[in-house]
A and B are shown apart, each in its own frame.
Chain A
């Protein structure tokens, strides 16, 4: 546990797990939004940003020259924040191109803006952000921009939503790394209620044990850790608890093998990304057990 409460939570380590980020851009983003996201990325110890703009093949409304100028402008803002920046243009299926580029560049994670879309638009046009989350084998940082916080972006409280069984092994390396840290970490477990009071008491006991174990594992990386246990649907409860505790970052694991229902309706990670008010860090690759 860190005893120095005045510690700067800005990461300066050379060996961060999140040094290199790929940032997909539609080039319609507000510059302030990008700057705010850049400030947050500094908390992760990110040093290098690769900006990518992918044009879908049928999009011909903007000249490449304009795009180049715009992406250069974005890059200069990020350089102003101390990032090493490179830029790429691609054409094709947007989510696939972003992901293949990220793999090619050996990036550590993808950071993107979440554009909330209305149901009808999402149904008709699809949602590129959701596709990236669904398809990515790299961690994805989903930045939720708040105009009220734009100038004073902070990363003081994080919440890790765990189900113990599937995602811990993939998420814990990030949480136990002191470079990826906030002042306060809430470890939240959302699960089903057991079918009878006796089993429920046992479940609660096991949950507390597991939460205690995770807390002990993360203790060196955070100033304060609190554990929470709630019953209900993970997608809704995680969002609700994140809002209730006013967290700045929500950390969740994503299971690659989805149930038939999830394949149709979208995974819990996609649901949380859509509904949460705060930024989300999604760690992929866990296999359903």
Chain B
């Protein structure tokens, strides 16, 4: 019997691994051989999904947020993600650092200045570009896109995984979370499909993130050292990052990712503090206070504003794109966040993951976005125009108006590189775990395979120009994942309700 189970497990492990690898290689192969074809089809699918199901993403994201708040405040909030007597594996600082590094870090550096400036220059058509209204709108929507909604998506996924794996003793796989709904069928085709889709979304997400991150690092280095950020430079950056994240990956979760994440948070907070003190402090704090008020008062409105009459195209290309992106990212971030959250109560987990990173994000946007607005509006610096020409230069153009700009640029590049390494490291870990039947300690060989695979794909697609097409494919995976996540909520409620109703009673008797 045990042998049979072992064989079945081994077969599943290899099935998910092989099928995922074949799908990824096929699409990457298409991206290399005929990037135009991949671009055409991925654009078609992507546009169709965004055009047709955009409203669904909006409703789902709000539903996840409501679901999380309800869960945190409900009687289930006291349930621990682990055994009743377990204590959290990581300190608050370590936990928040890793949460932030895996979930947002790299994106915030990329968009910290670029997003508010982009919205300011090109707001929806019902607002005049470069107006006071556009500035207010830009900050409000930057908060909105990076606020509680993405975390609600991540938390939903990771809460289910953490509950079913640490509390209920199942492998940390997304398919495990469906046991209350479909029982033993999680070990069949349905379970394979979910896990393969998760691998697919994670690989493509991390490849595009790696590619775009490499472009920004190269741009930053080019600004400091005055060279042209060409393909060769990008490959060099990816190669260095690959070596670093493979080393980090081999040292394991407890050391590699945690140390890097903590270092990065300290660096980020230092940078934030410097910009706040040296920059227009009162202006930045006014921007923060005002935008928090706008955000809180307009949260529900923004959550469901699809703007069908005017500004629909803007909503599609920003809000709905982001929502799809967060959902596509959720298998990776969800699994990673779950793996670092063992021992926390549901309430602590939800409130901590929802509020602390969001607050730091708001501060980040207020400091960098606010400083950029001060220069743009008060001093006529053309940061918005520079961003519209090349999004990855936003942060570096801002530094040009500050003392120690070269040092700031180098710190940002370091920050970017370390976030980059932690993202790639955690993605490699998650991919290896997903393709090892949820083994929390996957083999180094599997980590090497996925690590090299991700880096090689990023290089190839940077060369062939198929990176954006791949990003669109990743986003296309968000549609089935939205449905999967809605059922995940149902499954989690069923599981917790059962535990509360029967297992707790029996344990008390």
Q: Which residues of A contact B (CB under 8 A)?
A: 192-200, 203, 231
Contact = CB atoms under 8 A, between A and B. Distances in A.
B277 interface: no
B183 interface: yes
Contacts of A200: 179, 183
A199 B183 contact: no
Return the 5 tightest CB-CB contacts between A and B, nearest first.
A195-B495, A196-B168, A195-B168, A195-B180, A192-B498
Nearest to B163: A195
Interface in B169-211: 169-170, 179-181, 183-184
16 contacts: A192-B180, A193-B183, A194-B180, A194-B502, A194-B503, A195-B494, A195-B499, A196-B179, A197-B179, A197-B184, A198-B168, A199-B168, A199-B503, A200-B179, A203-B502, A231-B183
Contact of A193 (B164, B170, B180, B503): B180
Contacts of B40: none
Contacts of B502: 194, 203
Contacts of B164: 195-196
A148 to B, nearest CB: 37
Nearest to B168: A196
B325 to A, nearest CB: 30
B497 interface: yes
A203 B164 CA distance: 17
Contacts of B499: 195
Main SS of chain A's interface residues? mixed
Contacts of A199: 168, 498, 503
A193 B182 CA distance: 9
A32 B135 CA distance: 79
Interface residues of B, number: 18
Nearest to B177: A195
Given A194-B502, A196-B168, A200-B183, 15 more contacts: A192-B180, A192-B494, A193-B180, A193-B181, A193-B183, A193-B494, A194-B503, A195-B163, A195-B180, A196-B169, A196-B179, A197-B170, A197-B179, A198-B169, A203-B502
A229 to B, nearest CB: 13
Interface in B233-282: none
A208 to B, nearest CB: 15
Interface in B473-503: 494-499, 502-503
Contacts of B498: 192-195, 199
The residue in B164, B496, B497, B503 that gathers the most chain A C-beta atoms within 10 A of its C-beta is B503
Nearest to A200: B183
A195 B169 CA distance: 10
A271 B285 CA distance: 58
Contacts of A194: 180, 498, 502-503
Nearest to B165: A196
A177 to B, nearest CB: 30
A195 B183 contact: no
A196 B164 CA distance: 7
Nearest to B184: A197
Contacts of A196: 164, 168-170, 179
Nearest to B170: A196
Nearest to B182: A193
A193 B185 CA distance: 13
Nearest to A192: B498
Contacts of A192: 180, 494, 497-498
A29 B495 CA distance: 47
Nearest to A195: B495
A96 B433 CA distance: 62
Interface string B418-449: 00000000000000000000000000000000
A197 B496 CA distance: 15
A279 B497 CA distance: 32
A249 B49 CA distance: 50
A197 B185 CA distance: 11
A199 B169 CA distance: 10
A177 B40 CA distance: 74
B166 to A, nearest CB: 11
Contacts of B179: 193, 195-197, 200
A253 B445 CA distance: 58
The residue in A192, A193, A200 that gathers the most chain B C-beta atoms within 10 A of its C-beta is A193
B110 to A, nearest CB: 39
A196 to B, nearest CB: 4
The residue in B164, B168, B497 that gathers the most chain A C-beta atoms within 10 A of its C-beta is B168
Contacts of B168: 195-196, 198-199
Contacts of A195: 163-164, 168, 179-180, 494-496, 498-499
B486 to A, nearest CB: 18
Contacts of A198: 168-169
Nearest to A196: B168
Nearest to A194: B498
A197 B170 CA distance: 8
A197 B178 CA distance: 11
Nearest to B187: A197
A194 B170 CA distance: 12
The residue in A192, A194, A198, A200 that gathers the most chain B C-beta atoms within 10 A of its C-beta is A194
A94 B321 CA distance: 57
